[in-house]
Amino acid sequence: MNRSAKGNGAENFVALDLEAKGYVVASRRHRKGGGDLLAVHPAGPVLLVEVKGCKDQLWARFPRSQRQEMQETPMGEVGERVLAHVTGSGANRRIAWYAESEWP
């Protein structure tokens, strides 16, 4: 599987997880600015989500330039920026969530 297909699969997995939690999710890939997904919950925050589907070197695959682009994307007072790290496959697929305050 090529990197693009793997990335799309990871994004779809994260979108389905967020939708199951009551979020409405939209793709941001075609928009200028950081993040892969924008998720809105009627009772909670707006999430700007960067999705990474990699086994290792997470922070190398989410370099300073991408983190800065995320941080420069306006979110308003109810917005949060998060990284969703997808690992595993099939029934063993998992998401580790990293708030902006946890980024290097």
Cα–Cα distance measured from residue 26 to residue 73, given in angstroms and rounded to the nearest whole number: 16
Task: State the pTM of this model.
Answer: 0.89
Under a CB-based contact definition with an 8 Å cutoff, are residues 95 and 83 in contact? Answer: no
Domain segments of the chain as ranges:
3-102
Mean pLDDT for the stretch of residues 12-33: 88
Residues 6+ positions from 36 with CB-CB distance below 8 Å:
11, 27, 28, 29, 49, 50, 51
pLDDT per residue as tens digits for the range 47-103: 999 999 988 899 999 999 999 999 998 888 889 999 999 999 989 999 999 999 999
CATH of 3-102, one of 3.40.50.10490, 3.30.565.10, 3.40.1350.10, 3.30.43.10: 3.40.1350.10
